[in-house]
Structure 1
Amino acid sequence: MPTLALAGGTSPGLGRAIVSTLLSSSNHHQWDVVILSRNSRAPLWLRAIDQDGARTHIRPVDYLSVESLTTALKGIHTVISVTSAMDGMKAQIQINLVKAAVQAACKRFAPSRWGFGPRGWEDVKNAKESIEGIREICMKHKDKIECANFNQGYFMNYIGLGMYPAPSEVDEETSLYRLKVGGGYMAGEDQASEGLLRQGDLKDGSGAFLIGLKNTIAELPTKDDGSWPRITMTTIGDTARFVVASLELPKWKEEMTMVGETLTMGELLAHAEAVTGSKLQVDLVKIAELQKRLDELAEDDFLPRIWTEFKIANTWDLEDVGVLRPVVNQLCPAVKPIGVREYMEKFWRGA
């Protein structure tokens, strides 16, 4: 039985989605999951879907120690990283994981490089800094380990934030019950967001990005000629389904890009207005205004800088930046991702 090591796999977003998808998969291979984490305690969602730890095992690691990682990766076939690091250590963590995976004789590795297409990781400053040195070390060891980059564009779930009331605190027993009923997700915003935090930059404070359905507002980037740029969006759940299906492929491509739906910002707005039945208040922003905003932000103002850089990249309307190619879609045609309109209708009705 092959084993997947998921670095950062206790995270409530992509980590949870990949683990829950893998445990419910009907593929002929039944993969076990080793979760690498700084903390050995299983989160509630994991206890809800694998109460006895029959198929998941948490191995505490020091991500800054290659020795610690090598020990944890013994016997692992594939290593996928969904780690995030707000302290500037993200690239170093991925480099350490590659070194450890090679020493532990793992067969495949995918770094934590979720989001932009391959050009975006070179052309967007914040993105480039977070992957510095990773490709070089993967190329250095290409005869020992197969490396691939999974990219999904923007998480569609950001447009689902703020539709539901902020989740209220409940006791652990109640939370565990709700998570069991929902297959690892609580009904409401948890299902809509699939673990994303309310971190988007819309001025209503909803935590959404680009479109705020509840308060019918939007801030959308446009090209300098006033036309709408395109954007690729994929839900966290569909990203996980593509990744799990990819485990069965005999060979990975270097760029494993996937697409939920690619549409224009104008189409995104039209869907929102049709689903809500309301005319949205829209702020249109061009690259000059966004660049001015970025210049005025402090270097350590992390999230506002990221959102602004994302919108600047959107105005470029370039393939392999914010517009992705359906590589994994073609390799794994059994996965049928949800589109933006369908996503909005599903969760707007629920809210």
Structure 2
Amino acid sequence: MPTLALPGGTSPSLGRAIVAAVIAKKPASPWNVVILSRSSRIPTWLQAIDPQSTHTTIRTVDYLSVESLAAALHDVHAVISVTSAIDGTQAEIQINLLHAALRAGCKRFAPSQWGFGPKGWENVPTLRWGSQGIWNECTKHKCEIECANFNHGSFMNYLGHGIYPSPPKSESDEATTLIQLRKGEGYMPGVDEACQGLQRQGPLADRPGAFLIGLKNGIAELPIKDDGQWPRITMTSLRDVGRWVTASLDLPEWEESMSMAGDTLTMGELLAHAEAITKKKFKVIVVKQEDIEKRLAGLAQDDFMGQMWAEFNLAYIRDIEDEVVLRPVLNDMCPEVKPMGVREYMEKFWNIE
């Protein structure tokens, strides 16, 4: 059986989405998953969906050692990184993984550059911390290993934070939690299934961790172009990202930009869906480029998240293809994956809530 290595794969967001999709694939996926991690601890969601470790193995590694990584990749066909090192080593880790994959004879490699398209990694300053030099290094070795970037736009799951602005504390015991996770193929009902491990980092004023739209409190902060037109946005749910990545494993060839799109719509359509589903008239703050630039200039040098959200809004206003608006490459290559659209997402989780 071929083996996928997933550095950072114990994460409750992208790691869980990909592992759960591989295990849940029908008919059964031929792929085994090796999860690379600094720790051997098995997360509860993984215990639930692979209790006997039939499909997955965790191998502890030192991400700053090519030798350690190469030893862990000795039997691996494809390496797809989902690491998120916030200590300044993210780019170094990706290059180390590439060199280790080359040394181990792996056939495919995808660095951890999830999110906007390739132009986003060039145009958005706060994204460069995790991308410097990586793709240039991949290009140098394109005759030795097939490399690709997986891009999904913005996570649809930020809308979930706006549905559940104050997530309830879990009172379930471990046995009940495992049963619920197993039934949900790795996800608990309610807030976990809606947010899918995405951290509450969004900047909306009521501080639920949502971005752009807060359904529960009926608020929105939306960028608009100088000509008064609403810009577009591509949004994809984490679970659909996992399904597309899983489907891509069996493709005979990868493209360099493996973009996917759960839904592409305008900010105005996003607002219209929210108001229609909640039956509320939202309090909307409309922000223009000038407003965002002033906000950005006033932020402290160490306010990374504030800078990131401001720069994201500027990117939305630019409305550029291959930046925040993605070509549906994987949609076309893997038509068996039927993604959830924004309205469907809102309807599903708002009705549950």
Deviation of 1:177 after TM superposition, in Å, equals 2.5
1:93 aligns with 2:78: no
- Corresponding residue for residue 202 of structure 2: 200
Q: Compute the displacement of 1:126 (Å).
A: 1.3
Aligned residue in 1 for 2:220: 218
Runs of 4 or more, structure 1, over 3 Å off, are: none
State the one-letter code of the partner of 2:352: G
| Equivalent position of 2:261 in the other structure | 259
Say which of 260, 268, 271 aligns to 2:270: 268
Alpha-carbon distance, 1:140 to partner: 1.2
Distance in 2, matches of 1:202 and 1:256, equals: 30
Counterpart residue number, 1:163: 163
Partner Cα distance (1:302, 1:124) in 2:
12
1:174 Cα shift? 3.0
Identity, in percent, stands at 61
Say which is worse superposed, 287-296 or 110-119, in terms of deviation. Answer: 287-296
Q: Aligned Cα RMSD in Å?
A: 1.1
1:122 aligns with 2:139: no
Distance 1:235 1:28 in 2: 22
Q: State the shift of 1:28 in Å.
A: 6.5
Q: Cα distance 1:18–1:143, how it changes in 2: closer, same or farther (>3 A)?
A: same
Secondary structure in structure 2 of the residue aligned to 1:270: helix
Which residue identity does 1:115 align to in structure 2?
Answer: G
Shift of 1:29: 4.7
Residue 346 of structure 1, CA deviation: 0.4
- 1:313 lines up with 2:315 in the alignment: yes
Could you give the per-residue CA deviations for residues 72-109 of structure 1, whole angstroms, max 9, x where no partner exists?
11110000011112122111111110010000000000
Matched residues in 2 for 1:149 and 1:169: separation? 36
Taking the aligned partners of 2:91 and 2:300, their CA distance within structure 1 comes to 22
Aligned counterpart, 1:80: 80
* Secondary structure at the counterpart of residue 189 of structure 2: coil
Mapped to 2, the partners of 1:46 and 1:328 lie a distance apart of 26
Supply the distance in 2 between the matched residues of 1:201 and 1:29 (Cα, whole angstroms): 39
Of 25-34 and 280-289, the range deviating more from structure 2: 25-34
Task: Report the CA distance between 1:27 and its aligned residue.
Answer: 4.7
Deviations 1:245-266 (A, max 9, x none): 0001000000001111110000
Which 5+ residue runs of structure 1 have no aligned equivalent? Answer: none
2:335 paired residue number: 333
TM-score by length of 1: 0.98
Whole-Å separation in 2 of the counterparts to 1:59 and 1:284: 48
Number of matched residues?
A: 351
Q: Deviations over 1:44-92 (max 9, x none)?
A: 0000000111110000111111111111111100000111121221111
Segment drifting more, 294-303 vs 191-200: 294-303
Counterpart of 2:234?
Answer: 232
The whole-number CA distance in structure 2 between the counterparts of 1:167 and 1:245 is 34
Is the partner of 2:185 in helix, strand or coil?
A: coil
Separation in 2, partners of 1:328, 1:194: 21
Q: Shift of residue 347 of structure 1?
A: 0.4
Structure 2, unmatched stretches of 5+, are none
Deviation at 1:272, TM superposition (A): 0.3
Give the Cα separation in 1 of the matches to 2:185 and 2:232. Answer: 34
Contact 1:36 1:60 in 2 (8 A): yes
Whole-Å Cα distance in 2 between the matches of residues 28 and 184 of structure 1?
Answer: 17
